[in-house]
Structure 1
Amino acid sequence: MLKNGNVKRRAGVRDDVLNSDLISATTLAKKYKVSRQTIVGDIALLRAKGEPIIATVGGYKYQKKESQYHGLLVCQHTSEETRLELETIVSMGGEIEDVIVDHKLYGQLVGTLGISTLHDVNDFMSRAEKGDHQLLSSLTMGIHLHNVACNNEEHFLEIKQKLSELGLLYLD
């Protein structure tokens, strides 16, 4: 494909991500009749040019400027308690933006999640349970962090309190 065609496709991809709540690389690849890897490359180039596109467990989304509150939770629990943690946060109206662990060799490892609904939780847990995958928290004895977006600080503190009651927060 000519260079001009690549630029046009990338502009289209950008618009598709901007105008969708969530869209997968596979969907975009089918639409533009290119490989999924080409779309992944297009997204990388768009990000490098400053487009705030994030990859979530369900696909790409445009990170719009929000007036939401963002707080950081420090959690520690078993892998069996992961579903309870995620369901608690989203059922209380929070969005789990990511998971972060501090690794001895690599430093901070971040996985973008974008989990905001029970459907997202089920999708994530299904892939974690059915695949040959390990949670990032398995590298750090269950200790991990989550950036959580919600309506305001009071709402965040309610989520944090509930996780504390359930024994899912890290206590030093």
Structure 2
Amino acid sequence: MSQAPDPNTLETDRLILRPQRVGDAAVFHQLWTERDARVPVHRQIGPDGRPTEADIVSHIRAQQGDSGLGLLTVERMGAAVIGYCGLVFNGNGEADEPELAFELLRSFHNHGYATEAAWAVISRAADFGYPRLWATVWDWNVSSRRVLEKLGFRDTGRVNADSRHGRSLLTVRDS
């Protein structure tokens, strides 16, 4: 007997986007170690070594059971975990409208995976009744800006943060 598909899992031609599992923590920790030095300190591994892989495991456990609208693990079809993509409710756009977030291991940049994963999330968001999505991106993050442009996001002209880390630009996509 075949198992019914998980309603919180998305599939594309090359990717599976699924709820996060404790076993994903090692890859998520690696994402933290690969981050550009220009990102704010709270998004980098601190001098105390945190977040540790155990911290990330605790976070994943706390999120388990969320709907398919949160951050999903991205894995290549029949292969390994390569990052995450999904929706967060940070309040950076309009109230009660989600923000698209994605991050992939550097070795998987420039292969179209972020765009492919994000299209699946955008489609899911529309199914859940969210025709408009927001995204923030650092002005210096040319790769992510290019992904957002391909997805139809446009710069709102609003800067969420202007600091020594650069300018965090707010973008929006209307379906």
Using the size of structure 2 for normalisation, the TM-score is 0.26
The answer to which structure has the higher helix fraction is 1
The answer to which structure has the higher strand fraction is 2
